[in-house]
Structure 1
């Protein structure tokens, strides 16, 4: 009994007339009117003002409508979830990621994903600019670091560390810095920012550095460091291989920033589609 009349009431509140609501629900206008009258009688409150020409929602009706709309949405979402759990992943996914991380990590995993789910089409746009994934129509964004947009959903994929490092040849020639202040005496190779981040006395500290090169390419900076030109601060996905091989040496480890999260971020939709769910699961499983 508690459910009777709710769909009819919500339809009238949204459509603005009994006739339009009846058409939307594919029932008779008389049935809509009868169900709402019975609902008002059961609640002992007037939900709608009716005249021969207009229908106006009352203050009480407005409050009741908000709750009823949420209940109906919840039921629809539940049905959609059940249907999608049983459906096969298919369709298109549009995603974005930063250029280097996308090239080195995400795109190879998407290639593997395509072999597993050939009916899912993936369109990837790599950029270091922060895009508005809702406004620009993205299903998924891979983001690194702190998440500031609380309206989006997020799932952690992995984490990264930023290493300060140099080649053994550079250190043999110019010495090894043991404190942050010593960086002023070294050739610090810059990216898009003119400062590096460190962890000092429990807090993040930005330290201005300078050097003979500035590239907006992590790959270019890595190659410069390998050639002994200077010291760099770069994420581990640039330096991990060379650190393990000894071609780069980690520096100032006591001041290294804590690991930053790498996230799969997606709009707060009514439900997550199977195609997006299996892609995110694939990334979580395979990203080191």
Structure 2
């Protein structure tokens, strides 16, 4: 209620007319009069002298007008600032993403994006843990695989494929598994999970594997595989170049699971600002 009548009072004071103020605000003269009268009653102060020919400010009215004019000027400035943000993306973006994917794929693109949009600031926190966006104050998260949180909006940016592979020297020494059940006979290079994902006759299967090595580093597992220490299952961005050169060879290709989605997610109830939308569209274009 503190805002009621403020605009009406300021325009009446500046135009010295209830009729002109009403035209400026595109409302009726009677409504302007009611709002100003209610404002005076609320303040218990007479703000305007009214005659049939002229409207002028009282002493109290002049003091009140100066403060109200400053308030409306500040509101106009605030609206203009938001408008500028809409037309020229700027400000901070807080995002989170998985560690390796963020380092190797995402953040180099974010750097390219910032070359084009120098008024945008980015803070990125890389973690393989699923972070609560609302609690952590994040505008955006990059997630890989199936999405389980229905409270978030999502846009698919790209996809990845998991490959099971090993060095040719390992296969030459120990042979190649031909079925999923045969994996138990081989030394597998483990990450954080004890099982690998496959698809058999349109059915998803998680196969428990074992081995002498367990690292929470994909690149360390790649190094172990290249040195013939076992079989590994890793996403394409870890092993693709080694598959191309022949330093690694795939196995069990017929059981390879479908591609996993790579998603940008953001809170369902949060307006997607221009700078966030711009970054998401940029990532979708270049990761695709």
TM-score by length of 2: 0.72
Q: Which residue matches 2:75?
A: none
Shift of 1:126: 0.3
Give deviations 1:46-71, integer Å, cap 9, x for gaps. xxxxxxxxxxxxxxxxxxxxxxxxxx
CA-CA distance at 1:157 after TM superposition: 0.3
Q: Find the counterpart in structure 2 of residue 233 from structure 1.
A: 233
Query: In the alignment, is residue 23 of structure 1 matched against residue 26 of structure 2?
Result: no
- SS in structure 1 opposite 2:198? strand
2:88 alignment partner in structure 1: 88
Secondary structure of the 2:87 match is coil
The 5 Å alignment of 1:120-199 reads: 120-199=120-199
Q: The residue matched to 1:280 in structure 2 has which SS? A: helix
Offset at residue 249 of structure 1 (A): 0.7
Match of residue 98 from structure 1: 98
Would the alpha carbon gap of residues 117 and 178 (structure 1) be closer, same or farther in structure 2, given more than 3 Å must change?
same
Alpha-carbon separation, structure 2, partners of 1:116 and 1:268: 28
CA contact (8 A) 1:84 1:273 kept: no
Count of paired positions:
221
Aligned to 2:52: none
CA drift of 1:201 comes to 2.2
The aligned residue for residue 218 of structure 1 is 218
Q: Which has the larger radius of gyration?
A: 2
Unpaired segments ≥5 residues, structure 2: 9-29, 36-78
CA distance in 1, matches of 2:4, 2:97: 43
Q: Cα gap change, 1:86/1:191 in structure 2, threshold over 3 Å: closer, same or farther?
A: closer
Q: State how far apart, in whole Å, the 2-side matches of 1:130 and 1:90 are.
A: 27
Question: Paired residue for 1:280?
Answer: 280
Name the CA distance, whole Å, in 1 between partners of 2:177 and 2:111: 42
Q: Secondary structure at the match of 1:211?
A: coil
The aligned residue for residue 248 of structure 1 is: 248
1:81-108 alpha-carbon deviations (Å, 9 max, x no partner): x947851010000000000000000110
- TM-score, normalising length from structure 1? 0.72
DSSP-derived class of the 1:94 partner:
strand
Deviations 1:150-184 (A, max 9, x none): 11111100001111101111111110111111111
Q: Kindly tell me: are residues 226 and 271 of structure 1, through their superposed partners in 2, closer, same or farther at Cα, counting changes over 3 Å?
A: same
Query: Residues of 2 paired with 1:270 and 1:166: CA distance?
Result: 45
Alignment CA distance shift 1:274-1:172 (3 Å): same
- Distance in 2, matches of 1:190 and 1:108, equals 28
